A and B are shown apart, each in its own frame.
Chain A
Amino acid sequence: MGIPDKAIQEADINRWASGMEEFMEDRETILEIKHLQTSFLTSSGKVKAVRDVSFSLKKGEVLGIVGESGSGKTVTSLSVIRLLAGTGVIEGGEILFDGKDLAKVSMKEMRTIRGDRIAMVFQDPMTSLNPLIPVGKQITEMIEEHNRGMSKAQLKEEALKLLKLVHIPEAEKRFSSYPHEFSGGMRQRVMIAIALACKPDILIADEPTTALDVTIQDQILKLLNQLREEMDMSIIFITHDLGVVAEVCDRVVVMYGGRIMEEGPVEAIFERPSHPYTQGLMASVPDISLDKNVRLVSIPGSPPDMLNPPAGCPFVLRCAYGRNICNAKVPPVTEIGEGHCSYCWLLTPEAPKENNPYK
């Protein structure tokens, strides 16, 4: 419990020195999601938010999930910690963590895992803290929940350590402050402190910097990176900012319409994006040197209606290369490089050569 000791830190430095890539290969898989399907039952029908999503997370890895709103990235992570709204149901698939299938464990058992082993930082630091409770209390609450029998003094000490860990100046003074007395960046740090309270194995960060300014975003990203190095945590980083992904993630999963479009190591995704959607996303962000007279490449249309998603590839309606088969059948997976997969019909061996950027 508490802050990592010095031995771990030294081991950490050594492992960083020995090269990240080698290190990643022989790491164990900590979380594995297989064919996850999550839906919401609404008055107008079933919203299939996540449809057949599979990926895995290794120890100490930062996995980025990229996609636009409604692509199912947040629902995927909420399924992992079983915090779906009342109408949300996991309809199929497995979430394997520590020998258990989280999709099937009881809520009581889930409570011992959530917060303690898997913690989450939510998108909006303004609304996810309780405005009526001092931040110190909100942190100790979390520690107490998972460590019954700790004395009040011990709890406070732990909470202060956490506040210092996330670089909140004058932690003692701030301990009894209320959330409204903090700025957005500071609140996000408190959120991170709460999430780290029990030294989780996995931290899910859902757009942790979207609501923040560049300068504060920079501080938060550095903090997360430092914590990953010090605590050997695995992080699932949900965002739509590709610039942030390029900097912090080891591997990326690109989601659209509740399905995975492309998955691979971050270098591969950026150097050789192999799905029309990923390419479209990258082209929509103006490059620093882009001539102002050149029009931005935009993806026409808008995301699919998840009440009646297309039977095949969800991106087909906005894709410049869409064909009949894309509309009818879900594309199979094609391996492009090591650990780099794309779900697109254009990449299959049978795909015709005309109007095909990949052949």
Chain B
Amino acid sequence: MTKDDSIMLEVRNLVKHFPVKGKKKEVVHAVEGVSFRVKKGETFGLVGESGCGKSTCARTIIRIYEPTSGQIFLKGEDISHMKEAQLHPFRKNMQMIFQDPYACLNARMTVHDIIAEPLRAHKVCSSRGEIHDRVYDMLEKVGLSREHANRYAHEFSGGQRQRIGVARALILKPELILCDEPISALDVSIQAQVVNMLKDFQDELGLTYLFIAHDLSMVRYVSDNIGVMYLGQMVEICEANEIYAHPLHPYTRDCWRLFRFLRPPRQSRKRRVPLRGIFPAPFIRPPAAASIHAVNARSRSAVNANRP
């Protein structure tokens, strides 16, 4: 592969299968051959229904899960099958912000310890004083204050907890942040605060985001490019505004059409054609072709035959 400096993350044909308990030969095809590139400093939005594999995809990229096959390049380095010891320095460069601000913070640790843990794990600081300084500095950057450092997670509101999560992710000064639905659990008025904060950090530090969400209006707003996943496959990748204006894949089209954007009531009461059907259950054996055919009202038999 030719090394392209402008590419932060490249995923090629990523596959992740999970074994099914009790049935030795069957596997759940969670991610089924996903490929995409994320340029330095850009935000790549990943959308899709629950269970389509977007979170699994992010977790496999960051090697929480071992990929079944395929390659993951972080700044041109293939990290997909590295041993843990080799991988360790790369972990510093990619961090994750989790969906549930209530579950992702250890209830028995103070905020200071939560944010300092990555520093300790990677042994970046030589003295305790340096750790304190960096933690306090980070707390102020995410809009909290020094006094918060000795409190526990349960004393904070959802929005504040998500700020702690962001502080923990940013403390190692990584270049790539995987945001797994960072705003889904927050109230509307707080969502905007967190999104603005993430955007500010991106401008200031030149961060690259992989932004997973199901709120399409927010994804369109934050992302440069958007990938739409369906049943473990990437069905469409496109520039954010373009994908809204001219969605190509029928599934994408349906998603945009059905999503309740904020519009004046009269406009939003136009008739909608419902997307029929439920999607192919625990996709142990997903349909061969564009998996959408089970759902898509417009599908033709031709689509069934081969995967585009």
Chain A positions near chain B (C-beta within 8 angstroms): 68-69, 183-186, 213-219, 222, 240-244, 246-247, 266-267, 270-271, 280-288, 290, 292, 295-300, 302-303, 318
Residues of chain B in range 62-111 having any CB-CB distance to chain A below 8 Å? none
- Bound-state Cα–Cα, A242 to B157, Å: 22
- Bound-state Cα–Cα, A244 to B258, Å: 11
Chain B positions near chain A (C-beta within 8 angstroms): 49-50, 157-160, 187-193, 195-196, 199, 214, 216-218, 220-222, 240, 244, 254-255, 258-266, 268-269, 272, 274-275, 278, 281, 295
CB-CB under 8 A from A184, the residues of chain B are: 50
Instruction: Determine how close the nearest CB of chain A comes to the CB of B189; give it in whole angstroms.
Output: 4
Residue of B nearest to A267 (CB): B265
CB-CB under 8 A from A243, the residues of chain B are: 217, 259-263, 268
- Bound-state Cα–Cα, A296 to B186, Å: 15
CB-CB under 8 A from A242, the residues of chain B are: 188, 262
Residue of B nearest to A240 (CB): B188
Count chain B CB atoms within 10 A of each CB in A219, A246, A287, A318 and give the residue with the most. Answer: A246
- Bound-state Cα–Cα, A240 to B196, Å: 20
CB-CB under 8 A from B49, the residues of chain A are: 213-216
Instruction: Determine how close the nearest CB of chain A comes to the CB of B85; give it in whole angstroms.
Output: 40
Instruction: Determine how close the nearest CB of chain A comes to the CB of B184; give it in whole angstroms.
Output: 10
Count chain B CB atoms within 10 A of each CB in A69, A267, A297 and give the residue with the most. Answer: A69
Residue of A nearest to B278 (CB): A183
Given contacts A213-B50, A215-B49, contact A287 B195 (CB under 8 A): no
Instruction: Determine how close the nearest CB of chain A comes to the CB of B110; give it in whole angstroms.
Output: 20
CB-CB under 8 A from B160, the residues of chain A are: 302
The 7 closest A-B pairs by CB, nearest first: A243-B260, A298-B192, A68-B187, A286-B221, A284-B192, A299-B189, A213-B49
Q: Tell me if B262 and A296 are in contact (CB < 8 A).
A: no
Count chain B CB atoms within 10 A of each CB in A282, A297, A303 and give the residue with the most. Answer: A303
Q: Which residue in A216, A267, A303 is a CB contact (below 8 Å) of B264?
A: A267
Q: Tell me if B189 and A281 are in contact (CB < 8 A).
A: yes
Instruction: Determine how close the nearest CB of chain B comes to the CB of A228; give it in whole angstroms.
Output: 14
CB-CB under 8 A from A267, the residues of chain B are: 264-266
CB-CB under 8 A from A296, the residues of chain B are: 192, 195-196, 221
Instruction: Determine how close the nearest CB of chain B comes to the CB of A41; give it in whole angstroms.
Output: 21
CB-CB under 8 A from A219, the residues of chain B are: 274-275
CB-CB under 8 A from A280, the residues of chain B are: 189
Instruction: Determine how close the nearest CB of chain A comes to the CB of B165; give it in whole angstroms.
Output: 16
Q: Tell me if B254 and A246 are in contact (CB < 8 A).
A: no
Given contacts A285-B188, A286-B221, A290-B221, contact A295 B255 (CB under 8 A): no
Instruction: Determine how close the nearest CB of chain B comes to the CB of A40; give it in whole angstroms.
Output: 18
8 additional A-B pairs beyond A267-B265, A299-B189, beta carbons within 8 Å, are A68-B190, A69-B158, A213-B49, A219-B275, A222-B274, A243-B262, A302-B159, A303-B157
Q: What are 16 A-B contacts with C-beta separation under 8 Å?
A: A68-B187, A183-B281, A213-B214, A215-B254, A218-B275, A243-B260, A243-B261, A244-B260, A271-B264, A281-B188, A284-B191, A284-B192, A285-B262, A295-B196, A297-B192, A302-B160
Instruction: Determine how close the nearest CB of chain A comes to the CB of B282; give it in whole angstroms.
Output: 10
Q: Tell me if B188 and A246 are in contact (CB < 8 A).
A: no
- Bound-state Cα–Cα, A218 to B189, Å: 24
Instruction: Determine how close the nearest CB of chain B comes to the CB of A346; give it in whole angstroms.
Output: 19
Q: Which residue in B157, B159, B216 is a CB contact (below 8 Å) of A214?
A: B216
Q: Tell me if B254 and A288 are in contact (CB < 8 A).
A: no
Q: Tell me if B278 and A69 are in contact (CB < 8 A).
A: no
- Bound-state Cα–Cα, A203 to B218, Å: 31
Residue of A nearest to B184 (CB): A210
